[in-house]
Chain A
Amino acid sequence: MEEREEVKELRNAFYEKYFQDLAEAQSGNKITTYVTGYLPSEILLAMDIFPFYPEAHASVGCAFNPAEEVDKLCRSAEIAGISRDLCAFSTCALGSMHAYPETNGGMPRPTFLISSAYTCGIHVLWWELMQHYYQVPHFIIDGPVLCADYEPRHLEFFISQIKELISFLEEQTKSRLDPDRFRRAIELSESASWYFSEILELRKTIPSPISFRQLTVEMFPIVTFPGAEETTNFYRALYEEVREKAERKIGVAPREEFRLIWDNIPIFHDLDLIDYFESQGMVFVYETFFKEYWSKRLDPAHPFESLAKKYLSGWTNRRLERKIEIIEEAVESHAVDGIVVFQNKGCRAYSTGQLDVAMSLQERKGIPHLIFEGNMADPGGHDRNQVREMVDMFKDVLKSRKAGRKNG
């Protein structure tokens, strides 16, 4: 099925807006901040502050540049004393700053920095290094950890942090957060989340109407600009398209023989791997990364509380037992045949506990797993052929399980 014109137009409209804002930020005409992934950017958009995401910058850089260029960035970071054993988004982004200092690695110079501690404490350490580089103010949104099943005290603490953030922003920008614009941003973000969430729900359909790879690209608006009109409009159109595909049983692969879960962040420098899985009839229908971050809902009637609930319930804030429950539910709801557990050297927070998930699914649900190591944003040591050989072997496991079930 051809992509709908409306989807193309609204995607273009988003990127036009994004690049226009980026250009203004790069020329110093827009208040700009670097933000770590998964914090209340709705507030920033409501205050006309451009939120730039070095993590998204790193992931896009990995996806659209040759591996040699990405490797060069990681090596630049290493030369600057930043170990390649660290978060690969950080080594890419910091490496790009050191490799291309005249343009700060293609990133606009920030007016100030905002990091968050609750999703991943590494963010704050990384932002400290950037504060050292740029010598601008740095605000840390603190928050409780492992509290996705939040209690009132968790929400209270986080809400206090949101309010402190607003005070910081008002001081930095010498302007006030307009309540109407804030409400509107929350409404738009909630709509965008609804559409994104519904898109993910449609993948319960057999065959799945949208691929893991496409989502990796299409997630950019909701990650970077939740609360912008252009974001919501785009996801509405995308949702309608995906819904049509689901109704017409249009899948992403010529044949969908096996349905899989991907657990961890995508491998941005080897998104072709997803295509390879699909070429072998293995389609990803559920990823913890999309479902457990970008489809969280908001309540415009209770903006602070719902922002707290949304941003505290990311995957890395979930306790392991609950993660296992959620994945088991997904196995049932999405008719899953297997799970790919990507042990991501670039993210210890995400990767620790995954082996228990794999073992539990095997024991309790008979779901086979493929476990392999790699790095989400550092191609160093990544052997594409070897990984694809493992995929082939995994397919054999899935086939033999299917045959075993057929024979009773």
Chain B
Amino acid sequence: MISQARELFCQRARRAAEWKEKGGKVVGYFNSLTPEELIWASGLLPMQILHSSGKITKSGQYLPEFLCAHLKGCLEQALNGELGYVDGVVIAHACEALRGFSGVWNRNVGIRSYFLQAPATSGKEAENYYHEELKLLWDFLGELSGQESSPERLREAIEIYNENRSLMKQFSELRKLPGSPVSGRDVISVVKAGLVIPKDVHNDLLRKLLAWFRESPPVPDGTDKLKFTLFSNTLEESDVVAQVIEELGGRVVSDNFGYGLRYCWEPVKVGSDPLRSLAGHYLKKIPCPGKYPLARIAEELTEMAKSSGSDGIIWITEKFCDPYLFEHPFLVDRIKAEGFRMLSLEAEEAGNLPRLKMKIEAFLESLQENIV
């Protein structure tokens, strides 16, 4: 079933085409500040656009060399015609690169976009402003879908997504158990699948996975594997790193992925106005590093690492990612204070497997010595 999740991710363009053949439309997005529930409530399929590891040629004509590989890769796919299945995109403002990227996208890619402003703070005025922003986004999505949306449909969408959060959280917990058949890499595969398929389909997959796990509970093998939390802004490279860790005898038990634990840590609490509830949730959830305060992020992420029983943390970021790079010194201080050790990697290092393996192996050994 995990291989089914991997397959769903790899075949996403084909599956999107099938969705469209049935009359559906697809809305792409770039980061976890995007309120997917609103896209789903508008009758559209939300699909995260992830960069591929292919060569960057065309997007280099439009974007500075010193921008992250994620945005360069996404634009590259668009310019190569690989995003033909996408009818519109939501560009949620998570960093300053995206501020300029939205203009470049609009000028050079024939796919409509909405630039979603997410305030930096989460007070009453910011929430009011963001509520208005979401109303405008909702209008854009409604125009794209040609369908009537309503607070009831949004409520239903939030319910489906909250169920997904709950199921993902339960599934993510399974990797912590000694002898668990669910590895850290398996969780990443399931997270990735969830980014590109309808949420109710993802919920079905998760229920089946949980049922399968109940039928084949973990068999502790007596070995004491080192446990790791991944702090990362890139799922693709995290996948590679998780694979190396687990091949070397470690286990990834926790993460801070925007669509991993950070996404499912808390459900949306729906009040009388579901749109306002959504606005409050996205402003106040464990923030993405592009949002503030950094001190809170560092504390909550460290809590995640602690509660998962991690022995060490591996931090992976793409080069030129301002939010993660600014977050780094905070995390280092906080983590040291808690007695954790952290290995910092650049995402690009995942492209050099032998070297990556050496670094992770050395880190594992140093942790092992520490424990002994």
Interface residues of A (CB under 8 A from B): 80-83, 85-87, 117, 120-122, 124-126, 128-129, 131-132, 140, 142, 144-147, 153, 157, 160-161, 164, 316, 319-321, 323, 343, 345, 348-356, 359, 373
Contact = CB atoms under 8 A, between A and B. Distances in A.
B125 A128 contact: no
Nearest to A163: B125
30 contacts: A82-B325, A82-B326, A83-B325, A85-B320, A86-B325, A121-B120, A122-B326, A124-B292, A125-B292, A125-B323, A128-B330, A129-B329, A131-B295, A132-B295, A157-B125, A157-B126, A157-B129, A316-B99, A320-B102, A343-B64, A345-B66, A349-B96, A350-B100, A351-B64, A352-B100, A355-B63, A355-B104, A356-B103, A356-B108, A373-B65
Interface string B81-115: 00000000000010111011111101110000001
A121 B107 contact: no
Contacts of A164: 123, 125
B332 A81 contact: yes
Contact of A355 (B64, B99, B106, B327): B64
Contacts of B126: 142, 157
A82 B100 contact: no
B104 A122 contact: no
A117 B93 CA distance: 12
Contact of A320 (B107, B117, B294, B323): B107
B274 to A, nearest CB: 21
B135 to A, nearest CB: 10
A84 B120 CA distance: 24
B357 interface: no
A316 to B, nearest CB: 7
Contacts of A81: 328-329, 332
A128 B319 CA distance: 21
Contacts of B123: 142, 164
A356 B99 contact: no
Contact of B329 (A80, A131, A349): A80
Contacts of B289: 125
A125 B323 CA distance: 7
A125 B295 CA distance: 10
With most chain B CB atoms within 10 A of its CB, the pick from A352, A355, A356 is A352
B326 A117 contact: no
Shortest Cβ-Cβ A-B pairs, 5 listed? A352-B100, A320-B103, A117-B120, A125-B326, A349-B96
B63 A128 contact: no
A321 B103 contact: yes
Contact of A352 (B64, B121, B323, B327): B64
Task: State which size class the interface on B falls in.
Answer: 35 or more
A131 B330 CA distance: 11
B320 to A, nearest CB: 6
Contacts of A323: 103
B62 interface: yes
B97 to A, nearest CB: 5
B300 interface: no
B292 A355 contact: no
Interface in B123-149: 123, 125-126, 128-129, 132
A348 B97 contact: yes
B290 A121 contact: yes
A320 B330 contact: no
B103 A142 contact: no
Nearest to B107: A356
Interface string B47-75: 00000000000000111111100000000
B333 to A, nearest CB: 7
A129 B104 contact: no
Contact of A140 (B107, B115, B121, B325): B121
A161 B323 CA distance: 23
Contacts of A80: 329
Nearest to B330: A132
A26 B117 CA distance: 38
B119 interface: yes
A282 to B, nearest CB: 24
B330 A142 contact: no
A352 B67 contact: yes
Contacts of B330: 128-129, 132
Given A81-B329, A145-B99, A345-B64, 18 more contacts: A117-B121, A125-B327, A128-B292, A128-B295, A132-B294, A132-B329, A142-B123, A146-B93, A146-B115, A319-B103, A320-B100, A320-B106, A321-B106, A343-B64, A349-B96, A352-B97, A352-B100, A355-B64
Contacts of B100: 320, 348-353
A128 B290 contact: no
B361 interface: no
Contacts of A350: 100
Given A132-B295, A132-B333, A86 B326 contact: yes
Nearest to B331: A81
A326 to B, nearest CB: 13
B322 interface: yes
B249 interface: no
Contacts of B319: 85
Nearest to A84: B325
B96 A121 contact: yes
B293 interface: yes
Interface string B186-208: 00000000000000000000000
A275 B163 CA distance: 64
B328 A142 contact: no
A354 B108 CA distance: 13
With most chain B CB atoms within 10 A of its CB, the pick from A125, A157, A161 is A125
